[in-house]
């Protein structure tokens, strides 16, 4: 097993927008490998729109990656080096060599049936492949429509333990909410999750923020069926949700179709310390409100609102915090497509602001159906949040 060293990491980021899958992947990979020179990558991340032939994308990358760990996911847009690639376009590739890291890959299917067990299995496999180290982190990708994402994270946490932070994203599909995929080596998987165990010689830090604020008093989830919230405070959930911002003439709530969500409203799951973990609220035509991952029975929640300036302010803070006091090669970024929707025409500003805050360190990320960002406690699956970690 290769020993950890203090050599500086070298990182490259490439993108490809050609309609042909092979051409787009080859272009993105060539751009990512160019800054490495003669060095072979240790880690390659691949993000792609579902519009592509995904098997062609990942096989094209994997056959050139040598012995590197290859992982990634489909997206609802990508952000890289200050640029936004909107949903429905593009392949993005990151290649990283050196830096005193070892990477181990683990993946497993069956997230819907057994999220906790799946999380345990892939975390064990990834840790065993990476080997022991003074410090570690887990990079996690999951099928974004597989259900209990917090359960998956709980399984990872039960193996990794309190001291190992987790960051990553739930795969997207260009907002279609139909089918999402994750990548492990040259495989394209659904109903699955992929973990990259990062063995490191120094601590790795996860930073996240959401920039949303509460509107109204806390509410109790009194009727629940998996991810479907039927009642809040003993009344139909959608009725209560609607009332929480009926005094906002700009909300245009009646224009939101069933099965959609209001881009400037969401739910906040109240934590023991008073903070909230964000949950996107999908509106049902049967008086229900659904979340992508279930909330606990009798949880306390608040309806949350946002504005573009505050969303962008926390993007600044997250990018700056990721590189503070670190000689970093790249900042990995995961932002929710709900943030992109809430920002509207100002959406491209988030990629610019994160890159500006990171300075000369390149940024690389995608827009998700949920973000993994756990650094303390078990909770760590978010929506409408931006998360970052520097390598």
In 212-303, alpha helices (H): 237-243
What b-and-e string marks burial along 342-358, b requiring 16 or more CB atoms within 10 Å of the CB?
Answer: bbeeebbbbbbbbbebb
Q: Are 305 and 213 in contact (CB under 8 A)?
A: yes
Measured in degrees and rounded to the nearest 5, phi and psi for residue 253 equal -55, -40
Distances (CA, A) of 305 to 210, 243, 280: 11, 13, 11
Give every CB contact of residue 90 below 8 A, 6+ residues apart in sequence: 15, 16, 17, 24, 48, 49, 78
Q: Are 84 and 376 in contact (CB under 8 A)?
A: no
Q: What is the pLDDT of residues 243-270, one digit of tens each?
A: 876 655 444 444 444 457 778 889 999 9
Strand partners, 91: 16, 48
Q: At what angle do helices 21-33 and 54-62 cross, to 10 degrees?
A: 30
Distances (CA, A) of 334 to 7, 75, 113: 26, 10, 26
* Spatial distance between the Cα atoms of 280 and 296, rounded to a whole number of angstroms: 15
Dihedral of CA 207/210/215/217: which sign? negative
Full DSSP string of 150-206: HHHHHHHHHHH-TTS-EEEEE---TT--S---EEETTEEESSEEEEEEEEESS----
* Spatial distance between the Cα atoms of 303 and 280, rounded to a whole number of angstroms: 10
> Measured at the alpha carbon of residue 78, what is the angle toward residues 74 and 81, in degrees to the nearest 5?
140
Give every CB contact of residue 270 below 8 A, 6+ residues apart in sequence: 218, 276, 299, 300, 301, 302
| Per-residue pLDDT at 185 | 97
Beta strands in 34-109 (DSSP E): 43-48, 69-74, 78-80, 83-85, 91-97, 102-109
| Per-residue pLDDT at 283 | 86
| Per-residue pLDDT at 3 | 58
Q: Which residues of the chain have pLDDT under 50?
A: 249-258
Q: At what angle do helices 115-130 and 149-160 cross, to 10 degrees?
A: 40
| Per-residue pLDDT at 242 | 82
Q: Domain boundaries in the chain?
A: 10-209+312-390, 213-305
Measured in degrees and rounded to the nearest 5, phi and psi for residue 379 equal -60, 140
Q: What is the pLDDT of residues 267-317, one digit of tens each?
A: 999 998 889 999 999 888 887 899 988 899 999 999 999 999 999 999 999
Gyration radius from the chain CA atoms: 20
* Tokens representing residue 290 in the block: 């659904």
* Spatial distance between the Cα atoms of 188 and 113, rounded to a whole number of angstroms: 19
Q: Are 108 and 195 in contact (CB under 8 A)?
A: no
Q: Are 161 and 136 in contact (CB under 8 A)?
A: no
Beta strands in 271-382 (DSSP E): 276-279, 282-283, 289-290, 300-305, 331-336, 363-368, 371-374, 381-382
* Spatial distance between the Cα atoms of 267 and 291, rounded to a whole number of angstroms: 9
In 329-380, alpha helices (H): 337-343, 347-358
Q: At what angle do helices 308-323 and 347-358 cross, to 10 degrees?
A: 30
Q: Are 81 and 92 in contact (CB under 8 A)?
A: no
Q: Is the pTM of this model over 0.85?
A: yes
């Amino acid at each position: 097993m290769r020993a950890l060293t203090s050599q500086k990491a070298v990182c490259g980021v490439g993108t490809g927008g050609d309609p042909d899958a092979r051409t787009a992947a080859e272009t993105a990979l060539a751009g990512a490998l160019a800054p490495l020179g003669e060095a072979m990558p240790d880690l390659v991340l691949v993000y792609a729109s579902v519009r592509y032939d995904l098997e062609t994308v990942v096989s094209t990358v994997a056959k050139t990656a040598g012995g590197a760990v290859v992982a990634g996911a489909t997206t609802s847009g990508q952000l890289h080096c200050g640029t936004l690639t909107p949903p429905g376009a593009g392949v993005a590739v990151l290649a990283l060599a050196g830096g005193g890291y070892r990477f181990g890959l683990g993946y497993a299917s069956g997230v819907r049936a057994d999220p906790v067990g799946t999380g345990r299995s892939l975390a064990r496999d990834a840790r065993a492949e990476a080997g022991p180290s003074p410090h570690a982190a887990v990079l996690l990708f999951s099928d974004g429509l597989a259900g209990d994402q917090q359960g998956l994270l709980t399984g990872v946490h039960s193996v990794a333990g309190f001291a190992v932070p987790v960051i990553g994203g739930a795969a997207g599909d260009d907002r279609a909410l139909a089918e999402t995929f994750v990548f492990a080596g040259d495989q394209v998987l659904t109903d699955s999750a992929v973990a990259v165990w990062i063995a490191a010689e120094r601590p790795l830090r996860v930073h996240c923020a959401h920039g949303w604020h509460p509107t109204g008093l806390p509410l109790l989830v009194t009727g629940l069926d998996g991810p479907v919230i039927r009642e809040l405070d003993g009344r139909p959930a959608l009725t209560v949700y609607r009332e929480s911002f009926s005094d906002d003439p700009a909300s245009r709530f009646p224009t939101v179709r069933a099965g959609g969500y209001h881009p400037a409203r969401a739910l906040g799951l109240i934590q023991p310390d008073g903070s909230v973990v964000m949950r996107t609220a999908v509106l049902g035509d049967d008086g229900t409100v659904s979340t992508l991952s279930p909330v606990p029975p009798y949880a306390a929640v608040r309806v949350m609102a946002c504005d573009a300036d505050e969303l962008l302010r926390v993007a600044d803070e997250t990018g700056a915090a990721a590189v503070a006091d670190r000689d970093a090669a790249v900042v990995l970024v995961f932002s929710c497509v709900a943030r992109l929707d809430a920002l509207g025409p100002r959406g491209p500003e988030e990629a610019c602001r994160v890159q500006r805050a990171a300075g000369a360190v390149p940024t690389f990320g995608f827009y998700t159906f949920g973000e993994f960002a756990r650094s303390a406690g078990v909770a760590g699956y978010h929506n409408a949040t931006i998360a970052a970690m520097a390598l």
